[in-house]
Amino acid sequence: MNISLKILDNLRESYGIFISDKLKISDGDCGRGVFSSAVIEQSELLISVPIDALLTTRKAQHVVESHKSARQVLQNFSTCLNGTDLLVCALFLELENEENSKWSAFLSSIPNQLWNPFMLDEKELNLLTAKCRLPSKCFKQKIKISTEFLKALGFEINEEILNWCFSVVLSRSFGGSSERCETRNHFKIEIDNSANFCLCPAIDLINHEKEYNCEYRWNEDKTAFQVFSRKKILQGQELFVNYGTTKSEYEIYNFYGFVLPSDDFQVEFELQRIRKSIYDDKKIDFLTSQLDMVFAMEKLDSSDYFITSLKVSADLRRLANRVGQILEKEGYKIIYQILFERFIKNKSQNNNLASAENRVIEVFLDCKTSEKNNSEAIKTKSLISFSDLTRNS
Ligand SMILES: C[S@@+](CC[C@H](N)C(=O)[O-])C[C@H]1O[C@@H](n2cnc3c(N)ncnc32)[C@H](O)[C@@H]1O
C-alpha cells in the first residue's frame, strides 16, 4: 500500500480518528501536506480526533511516571519540568518502546527529519539579530532540562533524537494557556481540567497559510478536536490552517522553522548571517558552472532571468528549490550566494535594492525549508525538469 495512505489508515485504526476519504498526503510547495482527492464543500468535517488520541501533558506525565524510578527523580525536577519538557520526555521514552508504544502510529506519521533554528550552532545563532536569536537560544537551554531529567532516569542521550522530540513539540503542539490559544488557534481545549496543551495526530499533518481554507474546532459534545473546511476546496488543492493569526514571522520561524514568502517580511537577520558565512570559492565556481549548464539547457540567460525573476518570485523560488534539492545540503546557501552576486552585478538595472534583496532571501529561506522538509523525497528525485516552471512562467 502507498506509504501516505498507510499513514492515514494507521491513524484511523490505532486511535479511532475520523479522516475523510477525500484527504490524502502528498508533497507540495510547502513540503509534505494534506491535499483533497475530491471536491470538498464548505463546512465539511474533515478530521475528528477523539480526546483519547490526544497526547496531552497529563498523559505525557503518566508515560514519564510509569518509568521505573521516575517518581523519585521527578521530585527533584518538580520545579523545573513544565508541559513542554513532559511532552519531550514522553516522546523520547515512547520512541524507546518502539512498536510496543501506544503512540507508534503517531510517531511514524511524523517526518524523520525536522528542522528548527534552535538546531543552528552557537556561532550561527550569534549571527542572527537578537529578535530572532533569543527564542532559539532559550530553546537550546530548555532542552538541557529534559536531557538532565532523562539522564537521571538512566538513559544515554542521543542529541539528534532529543532535538527531534523537541522539534515535534515546538512545531506540532496545540493549545497553550487558555487565554492565548483562543486567539492563536481559534479554539480552546479544556482537557484534564487544565492540561490544554497537547500533540494531536492527523491534524498536525496540515500546513500553515495566511489564506487558510480549513479551521480547527474543539467539539465539546463529542470531546473531539476537529478540522472543518472554511470554503469549497477543489480536487487536488492543499488544505491549510492558520497556526496563529497573531503570530509574528519571528515566532513562525522559531517554532516552525519556515518563513512565508511575503513582501514586507523583515529578513535582515538572515542576510546578516549569510553575509558573514564563509564560502569555499572552488565549490561555488563548480556549482555556478552547473547552474549555468542548467540555464543553457533551458536556453535561459541566468542573469537576465534572475533580474526578471525578481518580479516573479514564485517562479524563481520554484527554480531555486529544485536546484537546491539537486545540490542537496549546501545547495540553498550556494544558490543564495550565486543569485545574490548576480544581483549585485546587475543592480544598476534595478532601482529597488531592498525589495530585490528580500526576494533573494525569500528564495534562500524557501530552499532551506524545502530542503529540510523534503529530505526523504529528494533522495528519490531525478534531475531537474523545468517543464512546469516554464509552463507557469
Ligand atoms: C504541523 S507540521 C505540518 C505538517 C508537516 N509538513 C509534515 O510533513 O508533517 C508543521 C511543519 O510543517 C512545515 N510547514 C507548515 N506550513 C508551512 C509553510 N507554509 N511553508 C513551509 N513549511 C511549512 C514546517 O516544517 C512546520 O514546522
pLDDT digits 0-9 by tens, 16-30: 999 999 999 999 888
* 375 C-beta closer than 6 A to ligand 1: no
Distance between first and last Cα of the chain: 36
Distance CA 368, CA 374 (A): 10
State pLDDT tens for residues 60-73. 988 998 888 788 88
Task: Give the residue-averaged pLDDT of 294-300.
Answer: 46
Distance CA 262, CA 266 (A): 9
Worst-scoring range by mean pLDDT, 69-78, 259-268, 269-278? 269-278
- Within its chain, how far is the Cα of 228 from the centroid? 22
Distance CA 242, CA 258 (A): 14
* 258 C-beta closer than 6 A to ligand 1: yes
Is 130's pLDDT higher than 90? no
**358 C-alpha to center of ligand 1: Å?**
22
* 292 C-beta closer than 6 A to ligand 1: no
* 101 C-beta closer than 6 A to ligand 1: no
**Closest by Cα among 55, 243, 275 to 165:** 55
**204 C-alpha to center of ligand 1: Å?**
9
What is the architecture of the domain spanning 1-258?
Alpha-Beta Complex (3.90)
pLDDT of residue 297: 46
* 109 C-beta closer than 6 A to ligand 1: no
DSSP 8-state assignment for residue 187: -
Mean pLDDT of the chain: 71
The atom of ligand 1 lying closest to the CA of 208 is 16
In the chain, which residues fall in CATH 3.90.1410.10?
Answer: 1-258
The atom of ligand 1 lying closest to the CA of 171 is 27
Task: Report the residue among 107, 172, 207 best suited for mutation to probe ligand 1: largest number of ligand atoms under 8 A from its CB.
Answer: 207
Task: Report the residue among 30, 170, 318 best suited for mutation to probe ligand 1: largest number of ligand atoms under 8 A from its CB.
Answer: 30
Distance CA 138, CA 131 (A): 12
Distance CA 329, CA 294 (A): 19
Q: Between these two residues, 339 and 99, which has the higher pLDDT value? A: 99
Residue with the smallest CA separation from ligand 1 atom 13 is 207
Q: Which three cell numbers stand for residue 377?
A: 523525497
Task: Give the residue-averaged pLDDT of 167-191.
Answer: 58
Instruction: Looking at the chain, list the stretches that DSSP marks H as alpha helix, in order from N- to C-terminal side.
Output: 3-15, 57-65, 70-77, 83-97, 104-107, 122-126, 130-152, 159-172, 178-185, 249-256, 268-276, 281-297, 302-309, 313-326, 331-345, 353-373, 375-380, 387-392
Q: Within a 10 A sphere around the Cβ of 104, how many other Cβ atoms?
A: 16
**243 C-alpha to center of ligand 1: Å?**
10
In one-letter notation, the amino acid at residue 370 is S
Task: Report the residue among 373, 375, 376 best suited for mutation to probe ligand 1: largest number of ligand atoms under 8 A from its CB.
Answer: 373
**125 C-alpha to center of ligand 1: Å?**
22
The atom of ligand 1 lying closest to the CA of 209 is 19
Q: Between these two residues, 241 and 276, which has the higher pLDDT value? A: 241
Task: Give the residue-averaged pLDDT of 72-98.
Answer: 87
* 111 C-beta closer than 6 A to ligand 1: yes
pLDDT of residue 363: 52
Q: What is the dihedral of CA 306, 310, 311, 314, to 10 degrees?
A: 100
